[in-house]
Amino acid sequence: MVKAAVLLEHGRPLQVCEIVLPEPGPGQVRVRLAAAGVCHSDLSLAEGRLRQPVPAVLGHEGTGVVVSVGDGVCRVSVGDMVLLNWSPSCGRCWFCGQGEPYLCERGGEAADEPYAALADGTPLYPGLGTGAFAEETVVDERAVVPLPAGVDPEQVAVVGCAVLTGAGAVFRTADVHAGQSVAVIGLGGIGLSVVQAARIRGAHPIIGVDTSAAKEDLARAHGVTEFLVADDATAAAIRQRTGGRGADHTFDCVGGAVTTRTAWSAARRGGHVTVVGVGGRDSTVEFSALELFWFGRTLHGCVYGSSDPDVDVPQLLTLARDGRLDLAALATSTTDLSGINDAFEDMRHGRGARTLVRLGSPQA
């Protein structure tokens, strides 16, 4: 039995309770969690805006240590520190063969299969296939990325979603170059990761946009050179700050009809618009046929930062080791399992960037 924060019904607060977690089967590993970040996607899953069978243990951005392995596991060993990968690639489907592991046909399969049980025997599902809001979890070995010795598991936890997604949007999806102008809409953990990556690439100016004026100091500390509070004139304000043309790159880190449309309108002719946030299926963005032709902009979707965690995690950790990427600054508050509902409330009100859930010692 291990403790976990369980979503019993969509739209209800998570409840901390004991769950029955089996030993790993063939190809699986059991991980004792050290820390997990609270992502906006967890809130969307909890509220039913994203599909997730229930009851479920949410949480998908985490680090921990391998405490046991099933038959045939060769990727990691007991005692290894690992990062959870909520979208593991199979390496065999058409998309993986095209070098697009973030679009793997099997990447989301684990979320639809029970992996544990409540105390009364009710089958329990892992949120986004990982179930990180728990003392321990069991995942396929493809869903862990080995970490080098000496890393701080609490700081590295945010790499599993916020940094891979945000930095990947800059480095891989958009491929921002030095001297290009960037506008980032939504300055949560992912948005601030976009900002840091844009700074690393030498972008200028870096315009940050958020609904909360209180985020200005935080945004500037990460690399924003100009800060705007979101309103109906945001796109015009971004154009005004980029020679009247609009930004070379705009990033919608919220995901929704208004923010995506703002990102589109704020980009220059021939500019690039990258949608990083996850919107709802009923949220519709409209464009006229004429403007699609006339502005010559490129609109990109961005799944998991177009990243390959096995390749990108070591590169991101090198940037962090060299002091260019500040992982610690992304976690603006900490809590334990009992504080996850408060962390959700902070996200609803746009407070802070990432709440980090401390789950215990990383020792095997």
pLDDT in tens, the chain (364 residues): 899 999 999 999 999 999 999 999 999 999 999 999 999 899 999 998 888 999 999 999 999 999 999 999 999 999 999 999 999 999 999 999 999 999 999 998 999 999 999 999 999 999 999 999 999 999 999 999 999 998 999 999 999 999 999 999 999 999 999 999 999 999 999 999 999 999 999 999 999 999 999 999 999 999 999 999 999 999 999 999 999 999 999 999 999 899 999 999 999 999 999 999 998 888 899 999 999 999 999 999 999 999 999 999 999 999 999 999 999 999 999 999 999 999 999 988 888 889 999 997 665 5
Residue 95 class from Cβ within 10 Å (0-12 exposed, 13-18 middle, 19+ buried)? middle
The angle subtended at Cα 337 by Cα 332 and Cα 341, nearest 5°, is 70
**CB atoms < 10 A from the CB of 255, how many?**
21
Residue 269 class from Cβ within 10 Å (0-12 exposed, 13-18 middle, 19+ buried)? exposed
Q: Which of 3, 24, 107, 15 is nearest to 55 (CA)?
A: 15
According to CATH, what is the number of the domain 2-161+306-358? 3.90.180.10
Token pair listed for 208: 């940050």
Residue 361: the pLDDT is: 65
- The SS3 assignment for 298 reads strand
Give the HSE-up count for residue 150: Cα atoms under 13 Å, Cβ half-sphere: 4
Are residues 267 and 291 in contact, defined by beta-carbon separation less than 8 angstroms? no
Give the HSE-up count for residue 233: Cα atoms under 13 Å, Cβ half-sphere: 4
Contacts (Cβ under 8 Å, ≥6 apart) of 197: 166, 167, 169, 170, 171, 176, 325
* Interstrand relation of 81-84 and 61-69 (parallel, antiparallel or unpaired): antiparallel
Is the pTM of the predicted complex or chain greater than 0.85? yes
- Side chain identity at residue 353, one-letter code: A
How far apart CA 78 and CA 67 sit, in angstroms, is 5
E-strand ranges in 87-198 read 116-118, 123-126, 136-140, 144-146, 182-185
Residue 119 class from Cβ within 10 Å (0-12 exposed, 13-18 middle, 19+ buried)? exposed
Residue 363: the pLDDT is: 59
According to CATH, what is the number of the domain 163-305? 3.90.180.10
CATH 3.90.180.10 domain residues, the chain: 2-161+306-358, 163-305
Residue 349: the pLDDT is: 86
